[in-house]
A and B are shown apart, each in its own frame.
Chain A
Amino acid sequence: MSTPTIDQVTDVADATAAKRAGAFRRIITTPLGLFSVIVLIGIVMLGLLEPVLRGHDPNTADLAAINAPPGTPGYFLGADQNGRDIWSRVLTAINVSVTSALIGSGVAVGIGSILGLISGYVGKRVDGVLAWIFSLLMTFPALILIMVLQPITGGTYQTMMALFGIFISPGIFWLVRNLVRGVKNELYVDAAKVSGLSNRRILSRHVLYVVRGPIIISAAFMATAAIGIQAGLAFLGFGSAQDANFGTMTADAFLNIYRAPLQLLWPSLFLGLMNAALVLLGNSYRDALAGPQAAARRHRKKRSASTSDATAPSEEPTEARKASAQTQGKLLSVRNLRVSYPNLDGTRKEVVKGISLDIHAGEIVGLVGESGSGKSQTAFSILGLLPKQAEVSADVMNLAGDSLLNHDAKLLRRMRGSVISYIPQEPMSNLDPSFTIGSQLVEGLSSSMSKKEAKETALALLARVGITDPERTFKSYPHQISGGMAQRVLIAGAVAPRPKLLIADEPTTALDVTVQAEILDLLRDLQGELGMGVLLVTHNFGVVADICDRVLVMRDGEMVEGGDVRTIFRNPSHPYTQELIASILDEETVRTDPAPAVLASAKEQK
Chain B
Amino acid sequence: MIPFFLRRVGAGLVLIVIVTAITFFLTYGANIPVARNILGPTASAEQVDILNGQLGLNRPILEQYFAWIGGVLQGDLGTSYYTSEPVVQALASRLPVTLSVVLLSAAITLIISTWLGVVGAARGGVVDAVLQAFSTITFVFPAIILAIAMVYVFAISLKLVPAVGYTPFGESPERWFASVILPAIILSIGGIAALAAQIRGSLVDELSKDYVRTLRSRGVSETSILLKHALRNASGPGFTTFSLQFISLFGASLFIEKIFALPGYGTYGFQATIQFDLPAMLGVTLFGVGLVVVMNLVIDIASGWLNPKVRMS
Contact = CB atoms under 8 A, between A and B. Distances in A.
Contacts of A440: 215
A479 B309 contact: yes
Given A144-B269, A424-B213, A480-B312, A413 B252 contact: no
Interface size grouping (class) on chain A: 35 or more
A477 B312 contact: yes
Contacts of B220: 417, 443-444
Given A141-B250, A477-B309, A432 B148 contact: no
Nearest to B274: A237
Contacts of A224: 139-140
Contact of B143 (A139, A145, A232): A232
Interface string A113-137: 0000000000000000000000010
**Residue picked from B211, B213, B308, most chain A C-beta under 10 Å:** B211
A430 interface: yes
Interface string B218-259: 111100100001001100000001001101111110110011
A145 B19 contact: yes
B203 interface: no
B289 interface: yes
A444 B218 CA distance: 5
Contacts of B190: 1-2
Interface string A460-497: 00000000000000000101100000000010011011
Contacts of A173: none
A440 B219 CA distance: 12
A520 interface: no
B211 A430 contact: yes
Interface in A207-254: 221, 224, 227-229, 231-232, 235-237, 247, 250, 254
Interface string B7-51: 000000011001100110011001010000000000000000000
B115 interface: no
Nearest to B145: A268
Nearest to B221: A413
Given A275-B139, A276-B140, A435 B250 contact: no
Interface string B288-312: 1100100010000000001111001
B135 to A, nearest CB: 8
**Residue picked from B145, B210, B274, most chain A C-beta under 10 Å:** B145
B218 A141 contact: no
B132 to A, nearest CB: 9
Nearest to B151: A254
> What is the interface of chain A mostly: helix, strand, loop, or mixed?
helix
Interface stretch (A147-155, A350-358, A565-573): A147-155
Contact of A424 (B210, B308, B309): B210
Contacts of B306: 434
Interface stretch (A3-11, A68-76, A334-342): A3-11
Contacts of A148: 23, 27, 269, 272-273, 281-282, 284-285
A144 B91 CA distance: 15
Interface string B135-158: 010111111110011001000100
Interface of B: 14-15, 18-19, 22-23, 26-27, 30, 32, 136, 138-145, 148-149, 152, 156, 190-191, 194, 197-198, 208-211, 213-221, 224, 229, 232-233, 241, 244-245, 247-252, 254-255, 258-259, 269-270, 272-274, 276, 281-282, 284-285, 288-289, 292, 296, 306-309, 312
A271 interface: yes
Contacts of B255: 1, 143, 232, 236
A480 B308 CA distance: 10
B139 A279 contact: yes
> What is the interface of chain B mostly: helix, strand, loop, or mixed?
helix
A139 B247 contact: yes
A550 interface: no
B288 A144 contact: yes
Contact of B26 (A136, A149, A257): A149
Contacts of B136: 276, 279-280, 283
A492 B90 CA distance: 63
B156 A142 contact: no
A236 B15 CA distance: 28
A2 B141 contact: no
A434 B308 contact: yes
**Residue picked from A231, A276, A383, A430, most chain B C-beta under 10 Å:** A430
Nearest to B285: A148
Given A2-B143, A136-B14, A434-B233, A141 B288 contact: yes
Nearest to A146: B251
Contacts of B198: 7
Given A145-B19, A275-B142, A416 B219 contact: yes
B6 to A, nearest CB: 18
Interface in A538-572: none
Contacts of B14: 136
Given A229-B142, A436-B308, 17 more contacts: A2-B248, A5-B245, A136-B18, A139-B15, A140-B247, A145-B22, A151-B32, A232-B144, A237-B270, A250-B145, A416-B219, A417-B218, A434-B232, A434-B308, A440-B215, A443-B224, A444-B220
Nearest to A440: B215
Interface in A427-449: 429-436, 440, 443-444, 447
B229 A150 contact: no
B144 A143 contact: no
A202 interface: no
A227 B139 CA distance: 10
Contact of A254 (B148, B213, B309): B148
Given A3-B248, A275-B141, A435 B229 contact: yes
Given A2-B249, A257-B152, A426-B210, A250 B26 contact: no
A125 to B, nearest CB: 19
B27 A152 contact: yes
A497 B309 CA distance: 30
A541 B307 CA distance: 41
A344 interface: no
Contacts of B250: 141, 144
Nearest to B149: A268
Contacts of B288: 141, 144
Contacts of B233: 432-434
A228 B148 CA distance: 14
A247 B144 contact: yes
A236 B270 contact: yes
B148 A250 contact: yes
Contact of A6 (B244, B251, B272): B244
A309 to B, nearest CB: 16
A228 B216 contact: no
B230 to A, nearest CB: 9
A7 B241 contact: yes
Given A2-B190, A2-B245, A271-B141, A141 B224 contact: no
A444 B145 contact: no
Ranked 5 nearest A-B pairs via Cβ: A417-B219, A143-B251, A2-B190, A228-B142, A444-B218
